[in-house]
Every structure is written in C-alpha cells, then in structure tokens.
Amino acid sequence: MDHFLYRDGALYAEDVPVAEIAAAVGTPFYVYSSATLLRHFRLFDEALDGMEHLVCFAMKSNSNQAVLKLLGDAGAGMDVVSGGEYLRAKAAGVSGDKIVFSGVGKTADEMRLALTGGVRQFNVESEPEMRRLSEVATSLGMVAPITVRVNPDVDAKTHEKISTGKKGDKFGIPIDRASEVYALAASLPGLKVVGIDVHIGSQLTQLEPFELAYEKVKDLTIQLRAEGHEIIRLDLGGGLGIPYERSNEAPPLPTDYGAMVKRVLGDLDVEIEIEPGRLISGNAGIMVSKVIYLKEGDDRQFLIIDGAMNDLVRPAMYGAYHDIIPVNERPAGAQSATYDIVGPICESGDTFAKGRSMAAVAPDELIAFRSAGAYGAVMSSEYNSRPLIPEVLVQGDQFAVIRQRPTFDEMINRDTIPEWL
Ligand SMILES: *Cc1c(COP(=O)(O)O)cnc(C)c1O
C-alpha cells in the first residue's frame, strides 16, 4: 500500500494533488510520501518484535537528507556503502552507533572517517580489507567492531546485476572459508568480531533464498561460537522485493519475512540487523513527467516525454518495469493506447517501455512512474546536460522541495576552464 491514490479523478500524493506540485516545481520531478516511508519502516520494525533488532535503511536506494532525517527520527539506523553516504547519514542526525558500513572496496580514508566519527560495525568483505582496517584502527589507537560478510552460495533468483550471494559474485568470502577468515580476524589487533553479515541480492520475490542463506548463517553461528568467537549480532542484509507490476506480482511482505527470521534464528540469542532499501523507499516515490509529443512510427506510436534515462535509469539499465499512469484519472472503459514510451536522450536505450498498453494520453499531459522512490534519484545524472531533477517530500497536505533543480548556470559553472585555454 502507498499514498499515491486517485481522488476525484486526480492523482494525489497523500493530501496534495500531484498537478499542484508539477505547477510549482516543473517537470520532471520525484515526489516521496512521508507516510509511506514511515509505514514501510515500521512494518519491518514490528515484524522483528520479540528479537533485539535494528532496521538499518540501505540509503543507497534513496539518500536525500530529508528522507534520512524522517527515518532516522523514527528510529532507523543506516546502512552506508561509502564515505559520502556516511557523512550524509551523520548530517541527517543519525548517530554513529546506528550506522553500519558495508561495501566491497572501503578505502583507508573511509575507514578513518567512520572510526573517528563513530560506527556500529564494519561489514568486512575480504582478508586484505580486514588487514587494512586493523592497521587503520590500530594507528588511531582504536578497535574496529566487525562482521564478516559471507557468501552463502544461494541463488537469489533475481536479475543478475543485483544478485550478490552466488559463488562467483564479487561480494563477501565463501562461507566454507569462514572458519579460517574468522581466525585471521581474531588474530588482528585492531579488530573485534561481533557477528556475521550476509546479503544475497536485491528485488527478491520469494522467501526461500533468504531462508536457505539464513539456515547456513545459523549453522555458521553455532560453529564459530564453538571455535571461540563471540557472535552477538547477525546482519541479514536487505533485498526484499516490491511489486513493480502491481497487476501480477505479490512478493512476500515484511511480516512474512520477519516471521521467517524469527523461526530460523529466534533461538540463537543474537541481535538482528536488517538492511532494507527498496522495500522502504521504492513504493514511497513516483517520478512525474510530461508528454512532449506523440509521434507516429511505421508500426508503432512513440510517446515522447520530458523525463529520460538520466532521470530514471532502471528501465535502461536492468530492463526494469514501472507502472506508468496518467495523473488525470480515466473513467473505467476509457480509450487505451499502445506506446513505446521514450525520453529525449540521443540513445535508443532511452526507452521506458515498449508496446505498453495504457490510457491514451495527449501532449502536455502529466504521467507518473510508480515505484520510483528507490534507485531513482540516487542513480540520476546530468547526461545530455539535463539538470538533475528536483525531489519533493509530502507530509499530509504540505509539500517541500528537498532537492532543488539546479539552474542551467549552476550546472554549467561546475566546470572550470583552465587559464591556459
Ligand atoms: C543494496 C544493498 C542493500 C539494500 O538492498 P534492497 O534491495 O534495496 O533492500 C542492503 N545491503 C547491502 C549490503 C546492499 O548492497
């Protein structure tokens, strides 16, 4: 459920007409619903009731300060994957002891940043990283709390670009080498082992791969404890999927996921961390765009819109599906049409949908891409010198621009021309 619904024939974001936002900020733009963000966070939080836990929002899915502040104030921790994300989380008021640092290529600078600013734990992904982190921590007179990310070799049954827990993926250490890697960790002076980390991929639409992975983590917990390691915390990653195509998808709910976690891991006496991104932010946002032209091709009709792959890259990058709806609702039985929906960028890949059947729309009409709150704005660029599009946050009947569209001058003046030219 989200808070983008038709009311009296017009699409609303909570209590604000989407057309009103479009008139204020221009198209294209992103708009997020506070109520949906909070609802999704709380669903996870409540799903793990009964076990000690922390829900760490994977902020790579949406890292706007306002979104982070909203979730942070509600009690969320953050899962960060770069120094920039770490600083963003801190700037949004999240305390270091609620920030988990993930990522396969953390630099010494990023380690120093997090150690000195405070961090809940590093999720370490390799032996060289382990040695580096121990050196950095020792040089600061500190000890870094760590988990080791293990690769459980399970098939997440998702898109190959977002599968991360299969043998051959670049992430984590093979689970059958965990014993020797944990022994190394215990021998390094700058590290303190606190747990195990696993993250098998994104947009998972079934619970089975999670369960298979968590069973392996459970066995590993018992084994590592027997080998003398203190495993007090399990970081179970993120990855629960959302229904992008609402008419025919129904991925498991956070409640089902939580019940499974409690069933598999409930008697281990561990604290649980989870790192959901998409399920918190995905359906909490839409991208609104305007139709520029309807163009008749030989055998198809192109809907040319003012949004493009630089604004929302998921369709071009992953072949991802987004529901696309008109902002002015059509009565039941209204005329529909079949379009190739494309942006203005000079690449054929700048295509949001091919042969999409939807309500017939006209030039200058507003359309909305659903489920665009995750991996939307954060992956945008200024390709073709199209300024980054604004982000708007709605709460009840109020809305605010939470990232301005840069002016052309601001965009252009970021370049500098050397004096010698
Ligand atoms: C991407 C990522 C997540 C979040 O994945 P979602 O599919 O957005 O829930 C969580 N943890 C790690 C380590 C990640 O790389």
Model pLDDT for residues 201-211, shown as the tens digit of each residue? 999 999 999 99
Q: Which of 87, 144, 67, 63 is nearest to 111 (CA)?
A: 144
Rounded to whole angstroms, the Cα distance separating 186 from 192 reads 7
Assess if residue 210 is contained within a domain: yes
Question: According to the annotation, is 356 in a ligand binding site?
Answer: no
Q: 373 with 333: CB under 8 angstroms? A: no
Report, in angstroms and rounded to the nearest whole number, the Rg of the chain calculated over CA atoms. 23
Instruction: Say whether pTM exceeds 0.75.
Output: yes
For ligand 1, whether the C-beta of 61 sits within 6 Å is: yes
Rounded to whole angstroms, the Cα distance separating 29 from 118 reads 35
Please report the atom of ligand 1 found closest to the CA of residue 282.
8
> Looking at residue 305, which CATH number applies to its domain?
2.40.37.10
Q: Which residues are catalytic?
A: 346
Mean of all residue pLDDT scores within the chain: 96
For ligand 1, whether the C-beta of 202 sits within 6 Å is: yes
- 85-103 burial, b at 16+ Cβ within 10 Å, e below that, comes to bbebbbebebebebbbbbb
Percent of the chain with pLDDT over 90: 94
pLDDT in the model for residue 336: 94
Model pLDDT for residues 214-273, shown as the tens digit of each residue? 999 999 999 999 999 999 999 999 999 999 998 888 899 999 999 999 999 999 999 999
Answer yes or no: is pLDDT of 352 > 70. Answer: yes
Please report the atom of ligand 1 found closest to the CA of residue 241.
7
> Looking at residue 56, which CATH number applies to its domain?
3.20.20.10
pLDDT in the model for residue 2: 85
Q: Do residues 343 and 354 both lie within one domain?
A: yes
Answer yes or no: is pLDDT of 364 > 90. Answer: yes
Model pLDDT for residues 156-183, shown as the tens digit of each residue? 888 777 778 878 778 899 999 999 999 9
Q: How many domains does the chain have?
A: 2
Report CA(346)–ligand 1 centroid distance (Å).
31
Q: Do residues 195 and 141 both lie within one domain?
A: yes
For ligand 1, whether the C-beta of 199 sits within 6 Å is: yes
Quick count: other Cβ atoms within 10 Å of Cβ 410?
12
CA 89 vs CA 102, 169, 199, 350, 406: distances in Å: 14, 28, 21, 32, 23
Question: According to the annotation, is 403 in a ligand binding site?
Answer: no
Q: Name residue 296's amino acid.
A: E
Q: Which of 264, 279, 147, 258 is nearest to 202 (CA)?
A: 279
Question: According to the annotation, is 278 in a ligand binding site?
Answer: yes
Task: Please name the residues in contact with 284: beta carbons below 8 A apart, sequence gap of 6 or more.
Answer: 2, 32, 33, 36, 37, 40, 373
Assess if residue 418 is contained within a domain: no
**324-343: average pLDDT:** 95
Higher-confidence residue: 155 or 369?
Answer: 369
Assess if residue 70 is contained within a domain: yes
Pairing of β 398-403 and β 391-395:
antiparallel
Please report the atom of ligand 1 found closest to the CA of residue 276.
9
∠ CA 90-270-262, rounded to 5°: 100
For ligand 1, whether the C-beta of 276 sits within 6 Å is: yes
Q: Do residues 200 and 315 both lie within one domain?
A: no
Rounded to whole angstroms, the Cα distance separating 306 from 377 reads 15
pLDDT in the model for residue 365: 98
Q: Do residues 13 and 107 both lie within one domain?
A: no
- Nearest 5°: phi and psi at 154? -120, 150
Q: Do residues 119 and 250 both lie within one domain?
A: yes
Q: Do residues 193 and 321 both lie within one domain?
A: no
Q: 314 with 322: CB under 8 angstroms? A: yes
Domain boundary among 280, 304, 339: 280
* Mutate which of 40, 275, 283, 318 for ligand 1 pocket (most atoms within 8 A of beta carbon): 275
Report CA(277)–ligand 1 centroid distance (Å).
6
Rounded to whole angstroms, the Cα distance separating 201 from 199 reads 6
Rounded to whole angstroms, the Cα distance separating 336 from 350 reads 23
Report CA(58)–ligand 1 centroid distance (Å).
6
Domain boundary among 217, 250, 280: 280
The pLDDT-based confidence of 1 (bands split at 50, 70, 90) is low
Report CA(369)–ligand 1 centroid distance (Å).
22
Work out the burial of residue 1: count CB atoms within 10 Å of its CB; fewer than 13 is exposed, 13-18 middle, 19 or more buried.
Answer: exposed
CA-CA-CA-CA torsion sign (323, 325, 330, 334): negative
Assess if residue 313 is contained within a domain: yes
Q: Do residues 286 and 239 both lie within one domain?
A: no
Q: How many CA atoms lie within 13 A of 415 on its CB side?
A: 8
Question: According to the annotation, is 182 in a ligand binding site?
Answer: no
Rounded to whole angstroms, the Cα distance separating 398 from 381 reads 28
In sequence order, what are the beta bridge partners of 319? none
Rounded to whole angstroms, the Cα distance separating 133 from 271 reads 24
Peptide bond into 243 cis (omega under 30): no
Report CA(418)–ligand 1 centroid distance (Å).
40
Which domain does 299 fall in, by range? 4-31+282-412
**φ/ψ bin of 399: left (φ > 0), alpha (ψ from -120 to 50), beta (otherwise):** beta
Percent of the chain with pLDDT over 70: 100
Q: Do residues 97 and 236 both lie within one domain?
A: yes
Q: Do residues 246 and 371 both lie within one domain?
A: no
Of 42-51, 64-73, 152-161, which range is least confident? 152-161
HEC states along 354-378? EEEEEECCCCCCEEEECCCCCCCHH
Question: According to the annotation, is 277 in a ligand binding site?
Answer: yes
